[in-house]
Chain A
């Protein structure tokens, strides 16, 4: 069916609003859950990591955590929901033709809307903790774009692989667990260099190869102006993250398109 570009856009909007409507339909607190869940998580992490384990940060721990925890939640839930997205729409995929990529994209978009709203809550927190915004906030759109592109690419991959191998869901669960702890979310990045014993340079190197490190750090650069985020981030950070985001997006889309003709037969 020759759909026009405009129709595609409208279909995408419809899918996205449908996702959001279905997510909160029938629950009393509705959309508030998107805020309550991360805030409760923040509460428990703050208690554990700033009162018990005593992670020391130059910023109030609650906001230090939120600046990277919120992007992480967006990343992880997009990957997980994205993996199931095509399989859940098997009925539609088998019966009607439309560009299949609209399904994972709409999953990402509805997650993005929830994410943006939680960022507003973060802004309120920052103000409560007397953090001042500087020109660094201009980095925020860039950070969001890089995160979205990187996530989108991986979501393409998980969504189409899930059609062929249901193992993806289990693999993803483990992978995300590893990934969460190997990111500077509940601890500052300097800890890595400071606390790793001699001879573990390889681990540090390995750690820093993970592009999510740079992307999440960019969020902190955008929100904070205190040490170690008082300056603009090094250009190589942005470059490295951008390359990864682009590679992920292109590889994901390529794989998706390559497998797309087989969806209706295999699902």
Chain B
């Protein structure tokens, strides 16, 4: 099998300087000191992968993981310090669209200039000129200096030239995030078209949905190393899991921090709330729940003396401040006669109706008249809701419901 892109144990090292030494005297001083001060780091280390003809290959990773550096290596803009890269065929990068545009020249002049930078001959540009202009929808402005273009027009022209170069390999780097919805759609169509023609695409993004839809195989770059490779689903799952673990760790840290923080806590402390834990259906501590999951909160308290008729309450706020609910044991007619010593109260939701987002949990205990706080933890416990049983995304809550039609209608399609 012939590989169209073959990247073998590629490594590239950058100097991490604070400021580049553009002054001769620093260069002289540096060379005397043998540049010891420059800390070096591997922007990419031991990166290997292959792409076959006609494949759509994804590269995912966070910002700063080395994705852009890898793309620059593929286009030949920079050379690796270690390993080798072989690329067969004409490669066109949708890196920064319109990189070579000259603001003072007209759209037409820029098409010719940029086209030839991308490797098209004059004849080829003439042949594709109408299509480039047509696709970018800039027929009326083609003889206007592009400094008068809006940024959207600028991007459209850039994309249009890049895609019409008709490369063997197309590199796409996040660029689809720009432009209006309909132009984005047009770009996606064009890319699918390209795919159908059996051309090779390398798609770099942290938009997992887009990568999942377009690509068949992928790698995940993390701190310059390949952290996972294989089918796109496997890599995405791996990546998601990692991101979730990190998020979980972050929330946990925040949760633990909150116990020390006093500003959001007040009350006489005759009863103290010691611990608030979110539990899943298996009684495991969690900070992430799916919409529709069972949701249970254990509020552990300690009463320093016998307290008559204490009222426990909770509240859930969304991170934008929306107050979602605020029940208490008095409303629910479940106030105990008294409490003494250690104990716990459980707050249970059979099926969590919250839509995805970050929420803050409040736990309080008051006297029966609810005018004297014993202990009040205000919005101190964060938890996260991720997509679950519903596709809904508007509003705050998911309310289980059904739809029905009356009158003349066709078959219900999903």
Within B69-114, the residues touching A (CB, 8 Å) are 72, 75-79, 90-91, 93, 95-96, 99-100, 102, 104-105, 109, 112-113
Taking a contact as CB atoms closer than 8 A, the residue among A4, A10, A21, A98 that contacts B105 in the complex is A21
Q: Given A14-B112, A18-B102, A96-B75, are A2 and B90 neighbors across the interface (CB < 8 Å)?
A: yes
Chain B CB within 8 A of A28 CB: no
A181: interface (CB < 8 Å): no
- A120 near B: Cβ within 8 Å? no
B78 contact set on A, CB distance < 8 A:
261, 264-265
Pick from B19-27, B212-220, B291-299 the stretch touching chain A: B19-27
Q: Is A164 an interface residue (CB 8 A)?
A: yes
User: Could you say which residues of chain A place their CB within 8 Å of the CB of B116?
Assistant: 7, 10-11, 14
User: Is A54 an interface residue, CB under 8 A from the partner?
Assistant: no
| Those of A71-107 within 8 Å (CB) of chain B | 91-98
Q: Are B121 and A7 in contact (CB under 8 A)?
A: yes
Is B234 an interface residue when CB atoms closer than 8 A count as contact? Answer: no
Within 8 Å CB of B76, what residues of A?
Answer: 1, 97
Determine the distance from Cα of A3 to Cα of B119 in the docked complex, in whole angstroms: 6
* In the complex, chain B residues whose CB is within 8 Å of the CB of A97: 75-77
- With a cutoff of 8 Å between Cβ atoms, the chain B residues found around residue A261 in the complex are 78-79
CB-contact partner of B113 in A4, A7, A18, A91, under 8 A: A18
Number of interface residues of A (CB under 8 A): 31
Number of cross-chain contacts by CB at 8 Å: 84
Q: Any chain A CB within 8 A of the CB of B14?
A: yes
User: Given B23, B102, B109, B117, which contacts A96 in the complex, CB threshold below 8 Å?
Assistant: B117
B118-150 interface mask toward A, CB cutoff 8 Å, 1 = contact, 0 = none?
A: 111110000000000000000000000000000
Q: Which residues from 32 to 76 on chain B have a C-beta closer than 8 Å to any C-beta of chain A?
A: 72, 75-76
- Of the listed residues A1, A3, A22, A164, the one surrounded by the most CB atoms of chain B closer than 10 A to its CB is A1
| Binary B-proximity of A1-42 (CB < 8 A = 1, otherwise 0) | 111101100110011001001100110000000000000000
Question: A165 on the interface (CB 8 Å rule)?
Answer: yes
- B97 nearest in chain A by CB position: A95
Cα A14 to Cα B112 in complex, Å, equals 8
Q: Does A18 contact B77, Cβ atoms closer than 8 Å?
A: no
Cβ of A266 within 8 Å of any chain B Cβ, yes or no, is yes
Q: Which residue of B lies closest to A11 (CB)?
A: B116
Residues of chain B contacted by A91 (CB below 8 angstroms)? 96, 99-100
Within the complex, the shortest CB–CB distance from B113 to chain A, in Å, comes to 5
Which of B77, B90, B96 has the largest count of A CB atoms less than 10 A from its CB? Answer: B77
Smallest CB gap from B14: residue in A: A265
- CB-contact partner of B122 in A10, A26, A265, under 8 A: A10
Chain A residue nearest to B106 (CB atoms) is A21
> Is B23's CB under 8 angstroms from A166's CB?
yes
> What's the nearest-Cβ distance from chain A to residue B142, in Å?
16
Is A190's beta carbon under 8 Å from chain B? no
Q: Is A198 an interface position by the 8 A CB rule? A: no
Question: Could you list 20 further interchain pairs (A-B, Cβ under 8 angstroms) beyond the known A7-B119, A96-B99, A98-B119?
Answer: A1-B75, A7-B121, A10-B121, A10-B122, A21-B104, A22-B105, A25-B104, A94-B72, A94-B77, A95-B93, A96-B77, A96-B95, A96-B117, A164-B22, A166-B23, A167-B22, A261-B79, A264-B72, A265-B14, A265-B78
Top 6 A-B pairs, shortest CB-CB distance: A95-B99, A97-B76, A167-B24, A166-B22, A11-B116, A261-B79
